Amino acid sequence: MKWWTQSEYGRTVVFVLLLMVGLWELADRMFGIRTFLLPPPSSVAVEIFNNPGFYGYQSLYTIYITAMGFALAIIFGVGLAIAIVSSKLLDRLLYTLLIASNSVPKVALAPIFVIWLGTGGEPKVAIAALIAVFPIVINTTLGLRAVDPDMVDLARSARAPNHHVMLKIRLPNALPSIFAGAKVGISFALIGAIVGEFVAGERGLGYVILTSQATFNSPRAFAAIILLSVIGTIMFFIVELCERWLLPWHVSQRSAKAAR
Amino acid sequence: MRSKRASSETVADGRSATSTPYVRVSAVSKSYDHGDNPALVLRDVTLNIAPGEFISIVGPSGCGKSTLLKCIAGLQPVTSGRIMVKDEHVLAPPDNMAIVFQRDVLLDWRTVLDNVLLMVEFKGLKRRDYEARATQLLTTYGLGDFLHRYPWELSGGMRQRAAICRALVVDPELLLMDEPFGALDAMTRDDLNVELERLWYATRKTLLFITHGIDEAVYLADRVVVMARNPGRIAEIIDIDIPRPRPLSVRQAPQFGKYTSEIRRLFASLGVVRSE
């Protein structure tokens, strides 16, 4: 356990989490709170460990929906941003459209997607992608635009074709912004997946929460919520790991590299 | 010392009468459209640069010297007049030309060698054919041990040397430098001045060097173009008759001082600097 001895931050996180769970358990027992109102963490843990297959399956389904939605959001988000930056006409057209549609509460579209795409995985993926795409487009557009004008002049002076400017300068330059958008996007995609499962579904952690509410099975709902937060955290860190791996040159990572 | 007042009538010709100018700037004016009152940045600029000539342009900020360079580079259109490079009307960046900017604009995600080879990629040439040349150039400039390092691991002077190598890798005939050493400390600047003088002496590229440092302008150039502002225009073109190669010590020579004080007097008479 190298990180335990070396990382003070890691130790602090574990300590705070344990403290929170401990207080929760203690409060439940001291004040005799009824389980269906706020189940103690011990009963939630028992619930999960008694049904590992069930929770594993439901978690995997939600992870799958989230990942698909997020992947679509990245593809469409970065693609749209490139289109917006490449052409003035597309800029006015798409950007206006995006801002306008961003003001629509996207969660409200979930039932419509069910009408369009049925009750399978598709509407859930669509909602996840729709919610996640906005931070990615906005951040990527900003990043693609934030290029030193001298850099563009340098490329033009060498008569570089436009796609070189995009691929060799703008896109790598935008990577930190793309990741900033992706980190928000991955959390949004998970929210989208849950909303999708709420609206129509017979699978996934969102569906588990909804059905346990109907039967006042609070330990089950809390088990799903805790699994969701664990999934959200892990997904976020996976994106961050990709960032570290892809951007060793970025300012935010130089000090860490120099210290090694 | 021979100095000419450049006006719309007298044309400053290239140094050698036998060769045609490599760059021909004829009665160029440039204005930016700011709504009702267009701002005149360059007024009636005429300048010929002979092949293999080293020209420095010195002037206060806002005199349009960078704009003039960008017009010659084909990066900005002129409002009136015309610019010819190698007998071709400049409407887009000409071939055989490279630029060095004040900021090195190296790409953070590319190693030094890859940054230099970027020019090769831009021009659609094969990297493999230029790797040896790029390595050799960087080694000459003292960056041999830093080929595979990233720009942020280098000092300011090393970064600008890499930027110069990037311009030189495709062997341009015309090199445009826009205050390339403006952001460096005085000692590094001296080093790079000497290196540039040697480079020019060895390769005889046609070189246009923009600076606001009078000493630097005189030290490097065959002719110094003195510009004034409001609107940006050529005030005077001064021939620098100091033999080459020039060691850094020529800066102490009385001859050198005569040129620099003449330019300082000129700026004082133009109201650019105060004359005590």
DSSP string, B168-188: HTT--SEEEEESTTTTS-HHH
Interface mutation vs chain A, best among B88, B100, B107, most A CBs within 10 Å:
B107
Q: Which residues of B touch A148 (CB under 8 A)?
A: 103, 105
- Burial zone of A102 (CB within 10 Å; 0-12 exposed, 13-18 middle, 19+ buried): middle
How many domains, in total, are found in chain B?
A: 2
Distance CA A235, CA A186 (A): 7
Beta-carbon separation of A172 and B105 below 8 A = no
Q: Does B92 fall in a domain?
A: yes
Looking at the fold, whether B162 and B264 belong to one and the same domain comes out as: no
A249 vs B98, B108, B122: nearest CB: B108
- Give me the CATH number covering residue B199: 3.40.50.300
Q: Do B119 and A169 touch (CB under 8 A)?
A: no
Domain end position, chosen among B171, B193, B208: B171
B102 lies in some domain: no
Tell me: pLDDT of B8 over 60: no
Phi-psi region of A10 (alpha: psi -120 to 50; beta: other; left: phi over 0): alpha
Query: Residue A158 is nearest to which of B101, B109, B122, comparing CB atoms?
Result: B122
Q: What is the pLDDT of residue B1?
A: 43
Amino acid identity, position B240? I
Lowest mean pLDDT among A166-170, A199-203, B23-27: A199-203
Write out pLDDT tens, residues B46-86: 999 999 999 999 999 889 999 999 999 999 999 999 999 99
Asked if A219 and A47 touch (Cβ cutoff 8 Å), the reply is yes
Task: Indicate the helix (H) or strand (E) that contains A128.
Answer: helix A121-145
Query: Same domain for B264 and B241?
Result: yes
Q: Who among A158, A175, A254 is closest to B152 (CB)?
A: A254
Band of residue B220 on the pLDDT scale cut at 50, 70, 90: very high
Spell out which residues of chain A touch residue B119, defining contact as CB-CB under 8 Å.
158
Which of B74, B92, B105 has the CB atom closest to A151's CB atom?
B105
In chain B, which residue's Cα lies nearest the Cα of A257? B153
CATH architecture of A41-259: Orthogonal Bundle (1.10)
Model confidence at A5: pLDDT above 90: no
Q: What does the pLDDT read at residue A100?
A: 86
| Percent over 70 (pLDDT), chain A | 94
Pairwise CB contact (< 8 Å): B93 & A157: yes
pLDDT in the model for residue B230: 86
The answer to whether residue A8 scores a pLDDT higher than 90 is: no
Per-residue pLDDT, averaged over B2-14, amounts to 42
Q: Which of B154, B171, B188 is the last residue of a domain?
A: B171
Residue B79 inside a domain? The answer is yes
The contact set of B with A (CB < 8 A) is: 70, 73-75, 92-93, 95, 97-99, 101, 103, 105, 107-109, 118-119, 121-124, 150, 152, 170
CB nearest B75 (choices: A151, A156, A254) = A156
The per-residue pLDDT for range B175-193, each reduced to its tens digit, is: 999 999 998 999 999 999 9
**pLDDT score at A78:** 96
Q: Using 50, 70 and 90 to split pLDDT, how confident is the model at A254?
A: low
Query: What is the ipTM score, two decimals?
Result: 0.86
Nearest-angstrom CA–CA distance, B5 and B8: 10
pLDDT of the residue at A34: 86
Q: Band of the pLDDT at A135, cuts 50, 70, 90?
A: very high
Quick check: is B118 in a domain?
yes
Rounded mean pLDDT of A201-206? 90
Six-digit token pair at A205? 């952690």
Rounded mean pLDDT of B14-22?
64
Instruction: Report the C-alpha dihedral over residues B123, B129, B132, B134, rounded to 10 degrees.
Output: 0
- Per-residue pLDDT band at B33 (split at 50, 70, 90): confident
For residues B79 and B192, state if they share a domain.
Answer: yes
In angstroms, the Cα distances linking B128 to B120, B141, B168 are: 10, 21, 16
Which residue among B155, B171, B187 closes a domain?
B171
Residue B276 lies in a domain: no
More confident residue, B98 or B39: B98
CA B76 vs CA A50, A153, A237, B60, B81: distances in Å: 72, 10, 46, 21, 13
Shortest alpha-carbon distance between residue B172 and chain A (Å): 10
Count of pairs with CB atoms under 8 A, one residue in A, one in B: 59
Q: Which of A158, A175, A251 sits opposite B123 (nearest CB)?
A: A158
Confidence band for B5, pLDDT divided at 50, 70 and 90:
very low
Nearest chain B residue to A160 by CA: give it: B122
Residue B14: its pLDDT value, please? 43
Q: Does pLDDT of A130 surpass 80? A: yes
Both B116 and B92 in a single domain? no
Determine, yes or no, domain membership for B104: no
Residue contact B107–A160, C-beta within 8 A: no
Under an 8 A CB cutoff, do B122 and A160 touch? yes
Reported pTM: 0.83
Q: Mean pLDDT for chain A?
A: 90
Helix (H, G, I), strand (E, B) or coil at A235: helix
**Residue B177 contacts residue B55 (beta carbons within 8 Å):** no
Quote the domain boundaries for residue B137: 112-171
Lowest mean pLDDT among A57-61, A95-99, B10-14, B88-92: B10-14
B41 and B150, same structural domain?
no
% pLDDT > 90, chain B: 80
Q: Quick one: B184 and B214 in the same domain? A: yes
Over residues A21-40, mean pLDDT: 89
Domain spans of chain A, in order of start:
1-33, 41-259
Question: What is the number of other CB atoms lying within 10 angstroms of the CB of residue A254?
Answer: 15
DSSP 8-state secondary structure symbol assigned to residue B93: P
Work out the average pLDDT over B202-219.
94
Same domain, B201 and B158: no
Per-residue pLDDT tens for B254-264? 999 999 999 99
